[in-house]
Structure 1
Amino acid sequence: MRKLIFGMNVTLDGYIAAPGDDIGWGGPPSDELFQWWLDQERASDLTLYGRKLWETMSSYWPTGDQQPNATPAEIEFARNWRDTPKVVFSSTIDKVDWNTRLVTGDAVAEITRLKAEDGGPMSIGGATLAGAALRAGLIDEYALATYPVLVGGGTPFFTALDSWVNLNLVETRTFPGGVVLTRYETRR
């Protein structure tokens, strides 16, 4: 069975986007944090996206390595992003590119099927999609890169739950700018 990992940058008060879908609250990540995320992306065999995060990622990363000021890590991230198989879950878009498959049906059923396959870890991104997977008990690991900023509202990292989820802390790490990484595994 494949492992499913939900990881994102998050504000101290628990939001992945401020009101108006504003994700500029963190500023650019430090080189060290960016490298950590790159390493996570390299380790993932498949990336699952909700529509909003897909639109954000696909608006930049297909050509991110061609930007004049792209760092070596950004160049590698863009290449890895294009090469990694992706699944986008949406009922409102009808076309995806860059090694991506679109699923318009039952996301939980498809994620359950993908988890049952042989293969390496899968990452999941997007609050709505990850929330559905969380409520279905499908997420095995959480990675939060918490920024020292309070935004007071927006899109929460965690959605409402039907029951408690007990976790084990597996890593903590501090990055430049006061960003604190915490990783937890679901206690089964």
Structure 2
Amino acid sequence: MGKLFTAILPEHKAFIEKQRMFFVGTAPLSAEGHVNLSPKGYDVLRILSPTEVAYLDLTGSGNETSAHVEENGRITFMFIALEGPPLILRLYGKGRVILRGSDEWNHWTPQFEIYPGARQIIVAELHAVKTSCGFSVPYYAYQGDRDTLKQWAVQKGEPGLGEYREEKNSVSMDGLVTTIGQQAAKL
């Protein structure tokens, strides 16, 4: 049923590129901390090599992924087949956060369409790729992307988004400082 690989194979890449949604999982080192599982939509993920992926992270109500990646680097991506043959594919790696306005941001942004509300890019070096059956995952039909986040970001504007990020995205729910929080502390 499940198989373990050290890199993304061509058939994994083809599967990932067909998915319209994926999930990102991270966790703090503390046993008391909260495991975070975050769904991602839009065309924001890029496979850079068989062992490196990146995604454009959009402004949201929390920023747990950044806090956890800053603390320990661990990150997991999960893709599930909601149409066609069943499959679950996970990518395991060590992540890092690239903030808006940095030299690295300017290096990475040509890889992406920059959506309103883009706040950071998460890059992950992979050490494992695992497939599993997905036999119990139900079928769902894609009906389209929601424009709600894009509209919200446009309405807030860049100054408003900056204030929002500083207020809501600087510290995780467990009290860990995010990359945005670290940058704000330096200013």
Higher helix share: 1
Q: Please give the TM-score of this superposition, normalised by the length of structure 2.
A: 0.23
Higher Rg: 2
